[in-house]
Amino acid sequence: MTATSPTVHLHPSILSADFARLADELARIGTADAVHVDVMDGHFVPNLTLGLPVVEAIGKATDLPLDLHLMIEDPDRWAPDYVDAGAASVTFHAEAAKAPVRLARELRARGAKAAMALNPGTALEPHLGMLGELDMLLLMTVEPGFGGQPFLDLVLPKIRAARKAVDDLGGQLALQVDGGVNADTIHRAAEAGADVFVAGSAVYGADDPDAAIRLLRETAAHACAHGRA
């Protein structure tokens, strides 16, 4: 890959938005590539956020694609319903899925991109065989369940290993990171090989979220080019 113009994508997480003004908050991130929607069930992770009706409402309030991150038990049962609710991409956790290949294929068959997430403590190697079934791999850079946590640098070697595995397959798989992504950490994740970045408080904590998105994207693109030169 050349070092000139790597493609990076910014997916602001509405977990950091004002839920009482969600339509207005979505309008503030018009330059984003997608909206990252965290669905938590209070079981797989201790927090509880939102479900299918709210996802449907979000889809009606924005023209941006919805990037669903399901931090839930039994995604095999529930994940396909989120495609029907309007998700363009659905991420399930490897730690929760009972039949990940079948689930990924069903998500794709329903018209969405299929993605799988790995927690910081989950090894990459046992899941490399899944890459051919996926459109995106999400490597969590915090423990899932709460926003505002600091970026875990211990995940960087896993990102590098995932980048090599993706490149060996032809580089068609997106490599996403989620957790603690801000102007100070995004360059490390990008240099390691990530190309899709979820940012919550770094976007919604800014006076101008769209300006924050542009800065993060530019920083990531520069670091990505440097890392893959």
In the β-sheet with 89-93, what is the strand arrangement from edge to edge? 9-12, 196-199, 174-178, 136-140, 113-118, 89-93, 66-71, 35-40
Q: Share the mean pLDDT of the chain.
A: 93
The residues that are catalytic are: 38, 178
Domain boundaries, the chain: 9-227
Domain spanning 9-227, CATH architecture: Alpha-Beta Barrel (3.20)
135-168: pLDDT as tens digits: 999 999 999 877 778 999 999 999 999 999 999 9
Annotated binding site for substrate: 13, 69, 145-148, 178-180, 200-201
Q: Find how far residue 146's CA is from the centre of its chain.
A: 14
18-68: pLDDT as tens digits: 988 999 999 999 999 999 999 999 889 888 888 899 999 999 999 999 999
**What is the reported pLDDT for 2?**
37
Global pTM? 0.93
Q: Is residue 77 predicted with pLDDT exceeding 70?
A: yes
162-193: pLDDT as tens digits: 999 999 999 899 999 999 999 999 999 999 99
**What is the reported pLDDT for 6?**
65
Annotated binding site: 13, 36, 38, 69, 145-148, 178-180, 200-201
